[in-house]
Structure 1
Amino acid sequence: MASPTVTLVAASPNPAVSGQSVTLTATVTPHPPATGTPTGSVAFVIGGTGGGTFTQPLTGGAATFITSGPGAGSHTVTATYNGDTNFATSTSAPLTQVVNPANSRTTISSNPNPSEAGTLVDFVAFVEAIPPGDGTPTGTVTFTLTNGVGTITINTTVDTNGFAFVEVPLSAGNWDVDAFYAGDANFGASGVSEYTQVVTEPESGTVTTTVS
């Protein structure tokens, strides 16, 4: 008859942030008075977004699984030892793994700068995760451009690489440009300001006179 076992599961770090690697460790021990070292495998079950069932080998009575998949929120984690010839199966008590939204950082650039009045200026905002967070933020960026007289506001979507683009013609003068990322389920909001776009008056055309 197979001896009973006790399975425990732990997570580090806990809490974590979105995209951060979390190490799950399951330990399986014989229930006294049984002795020995269980072999076989452990199935880690992670609930919620980005979770699933992941089976890992048991070595020296322990099994580990490293994941960065779970999204922001609380996730129930259990570990089930699948048993072997000498030891019976057992399941750990549920563990709550907390994943908080990661911090983000937004930067901005433009091309050309300076530019001529009336010509199109390309503005680019780049949104990235701040370590230990990882992944690509989604959602929208709001560009706000002001020259002290008028204000232009443009909302645009962050692409799959974390970039947001707008193209706009501007009148002559110095324009203050802000870019604000609104955040999503896994990443917090962030913004950048104090960026100046210099727009000059168009150069006057040169008239060439031919004397015969």
Structure 2
Amino acid sequence: MKWRKVLAGLASVVTAALVVQTMTAGPALADKDGSSTSLSLQSGTAFAGALDRDVMTVGVSAGNPSGTFGVSGGGKSLCFGFISGSATCTMPARALAPGTYSLTAVYDGNEDTFPSASGAVPLTVVLQPSTTSIQILDPFGSTVPGDPRLVLGQEQGYSINAGVRGNVAGTPTGSMTVTAATASGTFTLCSGTLNSFGDLAACSLGASTLPAGTNQITATYFSDGVYAGSVTSRPITVLPVQSTTTTLTLSSPSVPFASEQDEVLTVRVTNAGGGTPTGTVTIKTGSTTICTFGLSGGTGHCSPTASQLRPGSYPLTATYNGDATDTPSADSSKTLVVAKEPTTTILTASADVLAFGNEDAEFFTVQVIPAVSGIPTGNVTIKNGAVALCTILLANTDGCFLKPTQLKLGSYQVTATYNGDSTFAGSTSAPQPITVVESLIRKNAAR
């Protein structure tokens, strides 16, 4: 036995004497005591590749139960040691392959005690259970939690890490395969031999490696004879990139200058798959940005700010900037007209009855009031019908006089017409009644 050879150096004198006694015939053998050896296991099950969790207990019943013992099974020496009545031992890792074995304990005896052996005790060696895992890493090496959602054609930089761990002791060896089950079939993403940590080299994804839809990723570990095989799966959803349509709507085709905030520009974005696009929309006229806003439920709106656009005609372009799964699109079909700000002109006359020849006593003043804000510029023409009587420059905040004999005898409806400027629209006052009568001097001269 192997253990006898190992222990021979530790007890050579005793062993030599024992050999002599064993080889001596006659009454000396009659002086030895008989012995009885027992072997018991904690549960009779051991895991391949791990120390026997079931402690082997060897007991010797004899007058002087000391010496050496050994336990064997499967044609191998499993453990040995010194005993004094009883002792325990465990077998080395990987001593036995998976299977069922009969174990026997042998007590070697001593100078006072005969050797003896136990009865056969069954031991079952089983594969160690293993656990396989899958991780999805983003291009920055961070773990993607939950159900990863990638975008078709944009999977570059993502990778799948798979590995296996023993549930008892040690590190599994052997090989793994990572497959993808898709709507069109199953194919292998990668396979190979595990490294010293029980991991498979990362499976790197390229553009469109996985088709659009839900793909079931499965990592399969194949038993190495010590660790049982194991399988795990997790889904990866690949979202298709869809074309979109952007539609711009104006609350009104025209808005007065300085009232642009009353104009509502509404955008709706739809995609071919019927989903809900997210992201932002920018509305411009030429290179000038009017507003930018985020979509909610595929729609959004904004308004220009007051006085943002001068009076004029502005072609608008609403551009959807896209998101992870929806392509950008634009609508350039609408034009916004910014009209001049309306005004109100008020005419005031110093008198409503004038003597002929004394019309220069008539003094006209005007007010030009903007609808929203600002200061109108330009001039105002005082008219009798279509005939201009005098002109007032708003910059001078002054009025104007009629000229003597400018009007004949009679009644007139005089108006003030503001001629507008680049920002403010023209307007005409309400008619002001003026009557020109014959002067007393002229009446007397006529008599």
Asked if Structure 1 and Structure 2 have the same fold, meaning a TM-score greater than 0.5 normalized by the shorter chain, the answer is: yes
Report what 1:141 is aligned to.
Answer: 379
C-alpha deviations, 1:144-193, integer Å up to 9, x for none? 599xxxx98353235xxxxx7216799xxxxx985431112343322334
Kept after mapping to 1: 8 A contact 2:251/2:264: yes
Kept after mapping to 2: 8 A contact 1:125/1:179: no
Query: Is 1:55 matched up with 2:302?
Result: no
C-alpha RMSD of matched pairs (Å): 4.1
Structure 2: gaps spanning 5 or more residues:
1-151, 153-240, 351-362, 403-412, 435-447
Count of residues in correspondence between the two structures: 177
Q: Report the alpha carbon displacement of residue 62 of structure 1 after superposing the two structures with TM.
A: 0.8
Say if 1:96 and 1:179 are closer, same or farther in 2 by CA, change over 3 A. same
User: Quick one: distance in 2 between partners of 1:179 and 1:155?
Assistant: 9
Say if 1:8 and 1:144 are closer, same or farther in 2 by CA, change over 3 A. closer
Query: Is 1:94 matched up with 2:333?
Result: yes
Kept after mapping to 1: 8 A contact 2:310/2:338: yes
Report what 2:398 is aligned to.
Answer: 166
C-alpha deviations, 1:5-36, integer Å up to 9, x for none? 11111111113333442111111111x2x232
User: Quick one: distance in 2 between partners of 1:98 and 1:168?
Assistant: 36
Report what 1:191 is aligned to.
Answer: 428
3-state DSSP of counterpart to 1:37: coil
Report what 2:270 is aligned to.
Answer: 29
Structure whose alpha-carbon radius of gyration is higher: 2
Q: Is the strand fraction higher in 1 or 2?
A: 1
Report what 1:125 is aligned to.
Answer: 367
C-alpha deviations, 1:56-114, integer Å up to 9, x for none? 11111112111253333321111111122222221123312233344421124589xxx
Kept after mapping to 1: 8 A contact 2:341/2:370: no
Please, what TM-score do these two structures have when normalized by structure 1?
0.62
For 2:266, the aligned partner's letter is: T
Say if 1:122 and 1:165 are closer, same or farther in 2 by CA, change over 3 A. farther
Say if 1:9 and 1:184 are closer, same or farther in 2 by CA, change over 3 A. same
Report what 1:82 is aligned to.
Answer: 321
Instruction: Kindly indicate whether structure 1 or structure 2 has the higher relative contact order, using CA contacts under 8 Å at least 6 residues apart.
Output: 1
C-alpha deviations, 1:38-71, integer Å up to 9, x for none? 11110011249xx534211111111211125333
Structure 1: gaps spanning 5 or more residues:
112-120, 159-163, 171-175, 197-212
Please, what TM-score do these two structures have when normalized by structure 2?
0.33
Structure 1 vs Structure 2: percent identity of aligned residues?
25
User: Quick one: distance in 2 between partners of 1:12 and 1:169?
Assistant: 46
